[in-house]
Amino acid sequence: MGSRIDAMKLCILSCWVFSLTCGFVLLSSAEETEVFHPGKAWSYGYRSTLALVEKGGTEAVGFNVEGHVTIESKWAKDEERLLRIKLEEPKLHRKGVISALEFLTNHPFYVVWKSGQINKLLVSKEEPTSLVNLKKGIASLLQFQILDMETKEVDSSGNCEVKYTSDGPNRIVKNKWSCQNSDLERSKNPDPLLGANVDSKRVISYEFSVDRIENVIGEEEHEMSLSAREQVGNKLISRQELQFERFEIVETVNAKNYLEAFYELESTSYDEHSLVSELEHFAYDDGKTFAQIVGNLRNNLITSKMGSITSAKSFLKLVDKARHSIRDDISKALTSKKNNKIMHQLVDILGYVQTSNSHDAINKLFHYDDAAHEEYLERYLWALQTSSKPNPEIILDLVNKFKKTQNIKENVKETMVMAIASMAHHLIKVEPTKENLKVHRDVEELIVNYMDATGDLYYLRALRNLRSPTTVHALLKIISEGNLKQEILAWKALKAMDGKALTPDVFRAAEKTFYQLDKVHDSSARTLALDVILESEIVGDKLEGLVHFLIGNDKAFEIKQYAIQRFRMLSESCPVFRGKLMEIISGNPKLLSYSTWGQKGLSVALVRPFLVGGSSNGSLLTVQEMNTGIVKRGRVNVVMDKDSVSQEMFSLGVFSGGLSSFISSDSEETGDDEPATAGMELSILGNQLRPFTFFSGQGELMGHVFSGTASERTTAFQALAMLHDQKEFIRLGSGFVAELELAGAASLDLAGQIQFSLWNKNAESLVEKSSAILVVGTMRVDNSLVRSEIEFVVSIEPKLNLQTDIDFYNDIMLCMRLTQPETILRHGVYKIERIPGSKHRVRKSRTVSLHVSGRTYALNRKNSEMCSKLFK
């Protein structure tokens, strides 16, 4: 016995010295070790733990599985081994709770092990999926290499990239990453700030002695956090451990191959499995249909509840239910007379469901050539176009309807083509497969052909939503040859594109438009062209010319003022731009004068912080292009910013024309002889909706003035929208499967009122934007043995008010006040633990509230001076 111990010490010492010089762990190949030598058995204590905890927290829910694992090497041929493995006395540990695990049919299982790889896994047919998965997790621990290398392996986590690293004379560490599981559902919002970041770490450490594995410890963490607010998230921590206990000698089987050996050992039926864990499906259905749940939540969706958390929460529940409902059930909800008062909200919901059942239910009830269905179809199409999960079959169905349906109502027709464009854009952004690219090409061909044939403006608006680089040439042609309205829309389409799609020809056209080098251009086209230049990478080379424009002979003082405002806005956010601008100004005395930077225009362009904090910030981008004291083109954007990435959440725009005669006889050089018109433009998540025209023509305008229409608060737009829609499954090394889900909803209510007096020569307007945002992030492990779940809920009801007062009795005085009332950000964490078949249930919750102070945003000094004069 003493000589054997001395030989073992000598072997370990030799291996240790060898590992220092060659980087090997223990020995140069697995077959040279005594690991899994036939005729031997090794018993291990087994423990698997899983914990779910909020990010930054310590109090967790989860479970422990403990037992004993015995590995018997029953047959061998060359490097191949047949291992008989027994999981004995497995228990799910919870004080005073007996779980189903202790009573499950539990037979030995077998693996065919060769040179560190498991080629076959054989498990009894009588065992449930949850126990089979647990055994796959144990088997995966026995798959290892003892050389430093990078490779790919398939185990209980899926198809993973693997790296083995020496960590001492008798220890190796295995890191796993990028585990692919193409058979499991996975969906992610393509907009980077509207999703969740999922970070995973998987490490397994092995410790050997000469003739056995001493212990194996597998640890992994998976963290899901909001991209826009990284401090909000959940974490899953899993750990597996095999700890050597004892050794014994066992009988072997004499057979030609592993299969003969197996049949000699077992008479019961076994199935061959891969090491990859199987997903268990559980339908936690309360037995209620979609129509019944709509009935329960009906009062939460009425018009007066829009813009509230209550409606957003109900919206998420109904979207989830409808995605698993049949057409007849959905149709029953749509045709119920009790739901007439929430019909608009129901079509919002179905627009985000986007299953064949939901679309068929809409098509069965509503018809595109029926004026009575116009509002409902528009709401449905708006929801379709803002969804991050477009269904290509629905896109093709809409294309077919657009081509073949006669007498489609004009508003519906415009909304349809804009929705098709948005959906096609999202489709290839989410999954640019060959089939989806063909759908996108079909949509682009449809829009361009109809635009060339009819010249209708809404095809140009659709190109803005399509954002296809291959339409750049057509848009430049319109800028060169089209009328003023077409030119403005073409520039809007170009401005919406990714900067990489803008060619040198685009920037040459932008300079021609801004400086009017080829012809007279509308002021809105000029300011849009300026935006394209300023927001591009070439701005540094063009900046000197843009600054010298301020001291040029151009009489368009509002455009000069707009340029000044944009220079200031960019200087505040970009130090490099500010440095370049100051270098240009300081080198020219003419540019240092008050007359250059004190233009008399009222145009505004600025950014103000909104919901500051955490890893991302919200900002308000305000742009007001004025003309004779009236907003010609203005917008207020709510933008999320993080790591130099900006995501437009919501944009409210207003436009007007032909109104200068009501206020002033002084118009700019381009003239203002167009018909009186005014309206509103909305964009949700970067998707432009069709414009809403308040009036067109002086007769309609005067009718509003004398009748007092809109002098009372009037709802202009309401909608329910899906902001976050992400889901994925993660196979854990322990054999369990975790489900990660992120769902976010917004409930929007936009209302306004205006009072206009020709006698007093003043006007007052108020636009109120009420919204509710609810984000729910869930992480759960669900199987027949245990259900553990953690959920975070973030909610806020932000509001924005834009009040405008105009006095044109003598001189024009304009005062704009942008205010944000006080609101509360709530962050709740909920933890649930259940053991099926027992009364054990744990529920823990914690809620934190953060008060966001109200504020009035300073616009610019000129506006403040006007407000002081107006309200002195």
The pLDDT of residue 507: 94
Contact predicate 629/806, CB 8 Å: yes
- Alpha-carbon distance of 513 to 522, in angstroms, equals 9
Provide the CA 288 distance to its chain's centre, in angstroms.
30
Q: CATH number for 2-251: choose from 3.40.225.10, 2.30.230.10, 3.20.19.10, 1.20.140.10.
A: 2.30.230.10
- Alpha-carbon distance of 466 to 488, in angstroms, equals 17
Q: Locate the domains of the chain by residue range.
A: 2-251
The pLDDT of residue 785: 87
CA atoms within 13 A on the CB side of 616: 22
Contact predicate 393/362, CB 8 Å: no
Q: Which residues of 271-294 are buried (b: 16+ CB within 10 A; e: fewer)?
A: eebebbbbbeeeeeeeeebbbebb
Contact predicate 781/799, CB 8 Å: no
What is the separation, in whole angstroms, between the first and last Cα of the chain? 105
The pLDDT of residue 696: 62
- Alpha-carbon distance of 826 to 83, in angstroms, equals 54
Q: Is 728 helix (H, G, I), strand (E, B) or coil?
A: strand
Provide the CA 244 distance to its chain's centre, in angstroms.
46
Kindly report the CA angle at 863 between 697 and 667, in degrees rounded to 5? 40
Q: Is 610 helix (H, G, I), strand (E, B) or coil?
A: strand
β-pair partners for 642: 645
Q: Is 439 helix (H, G, I), strand (E, B) or coil?
A: helix
Closest CA relative to residue 827, chosen from 846, 854, 844: 846
- Alpha-carbon distance of 17 to 7, in angstroms, equals 15
Q: Is 63 helix (H, G, I), strand (E, B) or coil?
A: strand
Contact predicate 681/635, CB 8 Å: yes
DSSP state, residue 277: P
pLDDT in tens, 446-476: 999 999 999 899 999 999 999 999 999 999 9
Contact predicate 799/766, CB 8 Å: no
The pLDDT of residue 3: 42
Q: What is the DSSP string of 495-561?
A: HHS-GGG--HHHHHHHHHHHHTSSS---HHHHHHHHHHHHTSTTHHHHHHHHHHGGGSS---HHHHH
- Alpha-carbon distance of 847 to 794, in angstroms, equals 10
Alpha helices in 405-501 (DSSP H): 410-430, 434-454, 457-466, 472-481, 484-496
The pLDDT of residue 603: 78
Please state the three-class secondary structure of 390-411 as a single string: CCHHHHHHHHHHHHHCCCCCHH
- Alpha-carbon distance of 224 to 234, in angstroms, equals 5
Please state the three-class secondary structure of 619-647 as a single string: EEEEEEEEECCEEEEEEEEEEEEECCEEE
Q: What is the DSSP string of 120-139?
A: EEEEETTS-HHHHHHHHHHH
Contact predicate 840/846, CB 8 Å: no
Type of residue numbered 388 = S
Contact predicate 355/323, CB 8 Å: yes
- Alpha-carbon distance of 675 to 572, in angstroms, equals 38
What residue ranges of the chain have pLDDT lower than 50?
1-33, 665-672, 706
- Alpha-carbon distance of 723 to 352, in angstroms, equals 10
